Amino acid sequence: MANLSSKNYDKDMIKWLKSNNNLIKDTFNELLNSEPFLNSLRSLQKLSPISDNRAIKPKPDTVINDVTNFDEILDAIYQIRCNLFHGTKNPREKRDLKLMAYSTHILQKWIGAIYLSLF
């Protein structure tokens, strides 16, 4: 995303991604026609809200109200990523394991479709 957006910080890249038409957003919208992709989004939605697990300055919970809402899904996956790297995600916790599994499956389908569209 840094290459596409010409931004240096995650917050700026995500803001750019949400506010511009681009391959990443277009591919997400195309995948909404895929039942397996939608099922993973629905499974992730059932685990919403997703809390910010940082001890210092946590953000409000991330909620998925609509699985077709690009911004909500992007925010949820990004929050899971942040919790994994900076927070207290624990693969031994059943809920954390599900969050990581569903977001990984979504990203595999999403990034895989982007990759295939480039070749």
| CA pseudo-torsion sign 12, 85, 52, 50 | positive
Q: What is the pLDDT of residue 112?
A: 96
Can you tell me the distance from the alpha carbon of 7 to that of 10, in angstroms, rounded to the nearest whole number? 8
Are 91 and 118 contacting, i.e. CB atoms less than 8 angstroms apart? no
Assigned domain for 89 exists: yes
Half-sphere exposure of 90 (CA within 13 A, CB side): 5
Assigned domain for 79 exists: yes
Domain that holds residue 76: 28-118
Q: What is the pLDDT of residue 58?
A: 81
CB atoms within 10 A of CB 80: 25
Residue 8 vs residues 4, 25, 52, 87: alpha-carbon distances, Å: 11, 19, 22, 22
Assigned domain for 68 exists: yes
* Rounded (5°) CA angle 6-11-13: 25
Q: Structurally, how many domains does the chain consist of?
A: 1
Can you tell me the distance from the alpha carbon of 29 to that of 17, in angstroms, rounded to the nearest whole number? 13
Q: How would you write the pLDDT of the chain (119 residues) with one tens digit per residue?
A: 788 889 999 999 999 999 999 999 999 999 999 999 999 999 999 999 999 887 788 889 999 999 999 999 999 999 999 888 887 777 788 999 999 999 999 999 999 999 999 98
Assigned domain for 44 exists: yes
The whole-model pTM stands at 0.91
Assigned domain for 21 exists: no
At 50, give phi and psi (nearest 5°).
-115, 120
